Amino acid sequence: MESSSFPVPSLPPPTRKNKRFSAIMMVALLLVGLVIGTAMGYAITYADFNQKLTNLQTQVGLTQAPSSTSQQTFILNDNVSLSSLYSQVKPSVVVIQDLEPQYGFFGNLAGYSLQQGSGFLTKVNNQIVIVTNNHVIVNAINITVTFSNGDAYPAKVLGSDPQADLAVLSISPMPTGVTPLTLANSDALQVGDPVVAVGSPYGLSGTLTTGVISALGRTITEDSATSQNGQTIADIIQTSTAINPGNSGGPLLTYSGNVIGITTAGISNSQGLGFAIPSNTIIRELPSLVTTGSYPNHPSINAVGTDMNYQIAQAMGTSVTYGWLVESVSVNNGLKGGNTQATILGSSVTLGGDIIIAINNQRITNTDDLLSYLEQHTLPGQTINFTVVRNGQTQTVSVTIGKA
């Protein structure tokens, strides 16, 4: 069987125009693919980011409240709105301004400097008063109080206590409709509790900052420029809330709007740390400050001492590395001072005295524990049981509390 063949028609060679069209098609397809790939990548990335953001908000207890308007309100745990809290307490927080005399080299009056702080309204014995720091008004004249609505009034000092850096002011007449803030129990505070400060840092009135309780029972020494002699103050709240000059005297608040402290900015080189006088100190002193102008019941053990540590324990031949070493006692109150001088870690220490390790069975670890316990739980004239290590033996001694 024979095969037959047919001529195959020849195609014309591709033209330059056809080549250009093919190249354009390829570029177009690449661009479309790139656009689609980018869109899919963005969608995946956005979904992943949104999920991470939601997880983060859940971890810190921050949620966004639904709103039918363009404004957004952030709600904290327990349905606390910071903006609502701010609106609630702002009218009760005031700016305090006064003039502080400046003296020349020979003690002559050289002029006056303007100083500013904060304060807040509270009530004692059915009387509304203004609480602030003592260092805001000490030695000052022409004290004025300005409310958040701009109304200003001259003020007078009812009482002050440099040892707690507290002062109480009054204005007459007190404006109608003002709301005093409630003083809460600061003994209920725990490290990590969230807090809010409202005040006038650097003259910026009505400023709100937030943070947490960083530590309790601190002992601080205020600058000599802001207190007469570098006053040591016990039982202090430490907070991560930003406290700057001008915040002094403003309230430290819980998320419910109750005062648990009064902020102080009298500490130099304390960036990143805030301090506050606890509300229980205010509660304890306020009636006396208003009625008598002072508070006379700060306790003291009339002793000089230092915190125990490993090096001091080694030098004394004891295994007790905590507590407060009594170096000297100025009165006969039941405690014993030391009798041997030694240089330890570059400092002179008098060894051989009592090591205070507990008061009324409450462990005393250092100076903070000692002074905070005395301030919170003792009064001058009381006799209190101290647990001490004396001559290597642990014993209980009765100590008469003196007046600071």
Active-site annotation, residues: 135, 165, 248
- The first and second tokens of residue 279, run together, are 């509300």
What phi and psi, each to the nearest 5 degrees, are found at residue 294?
-155, 175
What phi and psi, each to the nearest 5 degrees, are found at residue 149?
-85, 0
- The first and second tokens of residue 375, run together, are 């301030």
Contact 97, 143 (CB under 8 A): yes
- The first and second tokens of residue 34, run together, are 């790139």
Please report, to the nearest 10 degrees, the dihedral formed by the alpha carbons of residues 397, 398, 402, 404 taken in order.
40
Contact 320, 355 (CB under 8 A): yes
What phi and psi, each to the nearest 5 degrees, are found at residue 385?
-80, 120
Please state whether the peptide bond connecting residue 7 to the residue before it is cis, i.e. omega within 30 degrees of 0. Answer: no
Contact 226, 241 (CB under 8 A): no
- Parallel/antiparallel/unpaired status of strands 74-76 and 207-221: unpaired
Query: Which residues make beta-bridge pairs with 276?
Result: 237, 263
DSSP string, 12-77: PPPPHHHHHHHHHHHHHHHHHHHHHHHHHHHHHHHHHHHHHHHHHHHHHT-EEPP-SSS---EEEG
Q: How far apart (Å, rounded) are the C-alpha atoms in residues 260 and 239?
A: 12
